[in-house]
Amino acid sequence: MSDVRHVQPVLVTSAVAVGAVGLLVLALAGDWLGPDVGRGANFCEAARDGLFKQPANTLSNAGFVVAGLFVAVHVSTSRPGVMTRRLGTVYACVVVLLGPASAAMHATQSGLGGHLDLLSMYLVAGFAAAYAWMRWARRGTPAFVAAYAALVVACQAVGLWGRPVPVVQHAGNLAFGTLLVTAVVLEVLLWRRGGARSDIRWGLAALATMLGALSIWIVSQRGWCDPHSWLQGHAVWHLLSALAAYLLYRLYSSTPLRTEQPT
């Protein structure tokens, strides 16, 4: 019975991956996401004829699906620590969903595709911030769920601000970045507090990878741009971000089950 239960993270995450990618394919074939309004056109790659407006920026999102599946495999095969198998599975599914959601924008340049892209970003950053807060405050899963929902709703509200934002361009990107910075600060405080310490090397690797991805994201907005090339800075951003998401999970899974439990 235990062996069957342990494969559930892989089965659930695989089902989410197949379902989300399948829905994306149907949406593209049926033109469900609406007309091309130029959403994401600022990410250099020229719009082309065919199923994908921006092929490199679209297909590079497969990295998130692969990363999420790798997370699910590790959840299934490792001993649970502070992060339970249930929360690990949720995180795996959130990472998987980043792929089709971001691809929806780059494949169509539609308004709805852009909203899906931002929502998926809020989901992963909200998870990171809420999970770090839950452990810092020594709260349980219900508190995590409430904080997670509140953060995602708050990001959606901030994203309604229509004016340009320096450097990050959009208020939704600012909300995403703020949650990630919050998560990093809380993870550092957790590590410094002692007790059941995580393996900080995974956290440093995740942070370095994310900073590298952000650097490429900024450079690709300010000069590195060949609209008709398959080598796109934004595509590299996707791949590095997917790697960072996996490394972040390894930080979570390295924390032993000891002192960071609800009191």
106 assigned binding-site residue: yes
170 assigned binding-site residue: no
Strand, helix or coil at 46?
coil
- Rg of the chain over CA atoms, in angstroms? 18
**Would the CA dihedral through 193, 198, 202, 203 be positive or negative?**
negative
Number of neighbouring beta carbons within 10 Å of residue 240: 22
- DSSP letters along 167-205, please? TTBSHHHHHHHHHHHHHHHHHHHHHHH-SS---HHHHHH
CA dist 130 and 146 (Å) reads: 9
Token digits of residue 55 = 């092929």
- Per the CB < 8 A criterion, the answer to whether 71 and 85 are in contact is no
- Per the CB < 8 A criterion, the answer to whether 152 and 98 are in contact is no
Token digits of residue 171 = 């208020």
234 assigned binding-site residue: yes
How big is the CA angle at 9 (ends 203 and 126), to the nearest 5 degrees?
Answer: 45
Cα diameter, the chain: 58
How big is the CA angle at 96 (ends 94 and 102), to the nearest 5 degrees?
Answer: 95
Binding site per annotation, positions:
106, 234, 238
Binding site per annotation, positions for Zn(2+):
106, 234, 238
